[in-house]
Structure 1
Amino acid sequence: MGSGKRSLTTTAMALACACACAVLATPGVAYASPTPTPPRTPTATPTATPTPVSNKDLEEVRKKLDKLYHAAAVATDEYNAAEEKAQKQSAEIVELAREIVKGQEKLDKLKDRAGAAARAQYRGGGLPPEARLWLSEDPQEFLDGAGRVRQGEHATKGLLAEMTRTQQDLEQYAKDASAQWKKLEANRKAKAEAKKKIKQRVADAEKLESQLEKEEKERLAKLEEEAAYRAQSAWLSSGVLAEINSKASEQGKKAVKYATDQIGKPYEWGAEGPGSYDCSGLTSQAWASAGHGIPRTSQEQWKQLTRIDIKDMRPGDLIIYFDDASHVGMYIGDGAVVHAPRPGRTVTITGAGSMPILAVVRPDA
């Protein structure tokens, strides 16, 4: 077998298993000649003609790549969800810490007031009321003073009750902060695990693609285009496009412009721009630029945004793909979406029906 070339069997096995191609060769063994022999004219070593990889084998590669990149997309959504939760939990912990500080300051002031009231009561409480009335030169002054004392006693009771409530609030804030911290740590672990999955799936896919020659990669890209074209043609043949005639809202127009302005920028998992995007990073930032915030992940966009019928779809709406809501694109009209496909690809326009549609959601419903 010629150096650097592969047989069909070896290539198919390597591609299906995503393993490195083995270059098989039998080393020659040299022996000393017992007697000198006249030199012979060297002859050219025959080289084996490489057998091209069949489209059938490449189609298997395409399917395997789809599975790997889909798994990476699922893990990316998990990573983004954990990241979003971690950010919220961090903000809540900061807010709870502020409440604890304010509560402690309030409690300190209440203690000072309670201490002052206790000292005043001690100074005026040495004699029984009858003795103070007998010693008083002005009975009315005594009665006024007694009224103030009663008011002070009521105020002291209220002060003590407020101190108790403040103390209870502080204890609750501390418990909430502790609970949020545990959740934050759990989400950090979830992020790390999702990141590990993403890197592994992408590495597997890249390793598989690296086994292909340049011409085979070009043919593989062609097969991907043909698969998307077949799916889009089947979707359009249902007549669905004839029913879609809604116009974009003003915010929808802004979101579409933002998304289409990113065409050509690379896909990067976890990215939200401006230099690169993943699928939901593109759609969430597009709508943020239009002044309307939406959830960060495709799964939460599917869960939280208003769902609409395909026939009512308008530019700016989001199309959620696959049964697990692991991908999202933005409808831009004429049966097309703009989306960030996968690692190794750039933000691009493709047919809205080129992937299995789960639902259509409207951010500004």
Structure 2
Amino acid sequence: MVSHRSTRHGAHRRADRQRAPYPGPLGLVPRVTALSAAAGAAAALTAVPAGAEPGGGGPAATSARVDRLYAEAERATEEYNAVAERVEDLREKVERAQDDAARDQDRVNRMRDALGTLATAQYRSGGVDPSLRLLLSEDPGDYLAKAATLDRINSRQTAGLKAFRRAVRALEQRRTEAGEKLAELSRQRELLRRHRASVQRKLGAAQRLLNRLSPEERAARARASRGADRAGAAGAQAPSPRAAAAVAAVVRAVGSPYAWGQAGPHAFDCSGLTSWAYAQAGVSLPRTSQGQLHAGRRVPPDQALPGDLVVYRSDAGHVGMYVGGGQVVHAPHPGARVRHDPVGMMPIAAVVRP
């Protein structure tokens, strides 16, 4: 997408836009859910290239491969989100650099015009030797006044030339910086494209594997991989009004579709959901699950309160929000909707209180 900002400097630049447990202990006894079991099964399988569709094995092996592909796609999605943030930041910096260069160019143009005017005045007044002009002048007093004015013009011209040279150097520096930022923006957009392709390959392979399962097997997989939808337990209290507002927002999002790279308001990936929910409470969170791992104070899992972020797996590749009653709300994976699940659905890396 190309955006043209309507400023008086628009003629000088074009910005390319491309323009995401309480009360008491949680009871975090390790649970062998379909997701965690699948992760273990996947680790025992012979490695296959990402995006491949290995054959063999029964429905359990196929389900394990699907879970592994989903986990890989989620990591790639979080990498995509991180690069997308950098792209947006760079795009804004490029715009500012181009605006600054346009203003500097206007300044240089004005200074050039002013120097031209001074040079013309000097030429017109300095064509005759000053002593001869004094002898020939009918009014020496008038001549001396004009000579003093000419001296002031010369002094202004010298100062103006120095300022002009500084302005030209500043303009060249602005242009260099803008060019470097544009080149980095291009590199980041290419990285974004590669992450997008990686996610799409993995999700496509996972869907083809799912298509091999019978409707009954897919239904059994869905039942085994999740808990029942229900709200947080009565009496669970969020630690702050903003956490309570984030919980209310995330619960409102239950039922919304998963969509990778999306941060609401109608579709979400995992970190997009939690960052959107806290944004409704006026709190800005990092866009990725890895960033959200460091977005607050860590608390022991058995002391989690509604509104806490639960970050999963050793790679911090997934995140949900604890809502009480041993449940999180999260955006699970493509084909699923935002839902409640048991907090121990997969290995917990950390519980973070923003």
Q: Same fold (TM over 0.5)?
A: yes
Q: 2:351 aligns with which of 317, 342, 360?
A: 360
Q: CA deviation at 1:59?
A: 4.0
Unaligned runs of 5+ in 2: 1-44, 229-235
CA–CA distance in 1 between the matches of 2:278 and 2:139?
A: 78
| Kept in 1: contact 2:59–2:213 (CA 8 A) | no
Q: CA deviation at 1:150?
A: 4.2
Q: CA deviation at 1:128?
A: 4.9
Query: Secondary structure at 2:262's aligned position in 1?
Result: coil
CA–CA distance in 2 between the matches of 1:286 and 1:271?
A: 13
Aligned in 2, Cα 1:68/1:133: closer, same or farther, shift over 3 Å? Answer: same
Aligned in 2, Cα 1:276/1:145: closer, same or farther, shift over 3 Å? Answer: same
| Kept in 1: contact 2:257–2:267 (CA 8 A) | yes
Q: Say if 2:298 is the partner of 1:297.
A: no
Q: 2:247 aligns with which of 243, 256, 262?
A: 256
Q: CA deviation at 1:143?
A: 6.3
CA–CA distance in 1 between the matches of 2:270 and 2:100?
A: 38
Letter in 2 for 1:194: H
Aligned in 2, Cα 1:320/1:150: closer, same or farther, shift over 3 Å? Answer: farther
Map 1:160-199 → 2, pairs under 5 A: 160-199=161-200
2:296 is aligned to: 306
Letter in 2 for 1:332: V
Query: Secondary structure at 2:320's aligned position in 1?
Result: strand
Map 1:60-71 → 2, pairs under 5 A: 60-71=61-72
| The structure with more radius of gyration | 1
1:240 is aligned to: none
Q: 2:266 aligns with which of 254, 275, 296?
A: 275
Aligned in 2, Cα 1:114/1:86: closer, same or farther, shift over 3 Å? Answer: same
| Kept in 2: contact 1:259–1:286 (CA 8 A) | yes
2:336 is aligned to: 345
Q: CA deviation at 1:98?
A: 1.9
Letter in 1 for 2:316: A
| Kept in 2: contact 1:62–1:224 (CA 8 A) | no
Aligned in 2, Cα 1:108/1:254: closer, same or farther, shift over 3 Å? Answer: same
| Kept in 2: contact 1:336–1:350 (CA 8 A) | yes
Query: Secondary structure at 1:338's aligned position in 2?
Result: strand
Q: CA deviation at 1:161?
A: 2.2
| Kept in 2: contact 1:279–1:341 (CA 8 A) | yes
Query: Secondary structure at 1:291's aligned position in 2?
Result: coil
Q: CA RMSD in A?
A: 3.1
Q: Which structure's relative contact order is higher, taking Cα pairs within 8 Å and 6+ residues apart?
A: 2
CA–CA distance in 2 between the matches of 1:147 and 1:315?
A: 80
Q: CA deviation at 1:264?
A: 0.9
| Kept in 2: contact 1:321–1:356 (CA 8 A) | yes
| Kept in 1: contact 2:226–2:345 (CA 8 A) | no
CA–CA distance in 1 between the matches of 2:254 and 2:134?
A: 92
CA–CA distance in 1 between the matches of 2:308 and 2:135?
A: 87
CA–CA distance in 1 between the matches of 2:263 and 2:206?
A: 23
CA–CA distance in 1 between the matches of 2:97 and 2:201?
A: 38
How many residues align? The count is 297
Residue deviations 1:228-262 (CA, integer Å, cap 9, x gap):
9xxxxxxxxxxxxxxxx873322222222111101
Aligned in 2, Cα 1:222/1:334: closer, same or farther, shift over 3 Å? Answer: closer
Q: CA deviation at 1:146?
A: 5.3
Query: Secondary structure at 1:296's aligned position in 2?
Result: coil
Letter in 2 for 1:85: R
Residue deviations 1:267-295 (CA, integer Å, cap 9, x gap):
11112223221111111222222223322
Q: CA deviation at 1:77?
A: 1.3
TM-score, with length taken from structure 2: 0.73
Query: Alignment identity in percent?
Result: 35
Aligned in 2, Cα 1:352/1:168: closer, same or farther, shift over 3 Å? Answer: farther
| Kept in 2: contact 1:307–1:362 (CA 8 A) | yes
CA–CA distance in 2 between the matches of 1:132 and 1:310?
A: 93
Letter in 2 for 1:308: R
Residue deviations 1:6-50 (CA, integer Å, cap 9, x gap):
xxxxxxx9xx995679xxxxxxxxxxxxxxxxxxxxxxxxxxxxx
Residue deviations 1:27-84 (CA, integer Å, cap 9, x gap):
xxxxxxxxxxxxxxxxxxxxxxxxxx9xxx5443343222110001011112222222
Letter in 2 for 1:337: V
| Kept in 2: contact 1:107–1:167 (CA 8 A) | yes
Larger mean CA deviation between 314-323 and 279-288 belongs to: 314-323
| Kept in 2: contact 1:267–1:340 (CA 8 A) | yes
TM-score, with length taken from structure 1: 0.71
Aligned in 2, Cα 1:120/1:362: closer, same or farther, shift over 3 Å? Answer: farther
Unaligned runs of 5+ in 1: 1-12, 22-52, 229-244
1:109 is aligned to: 110
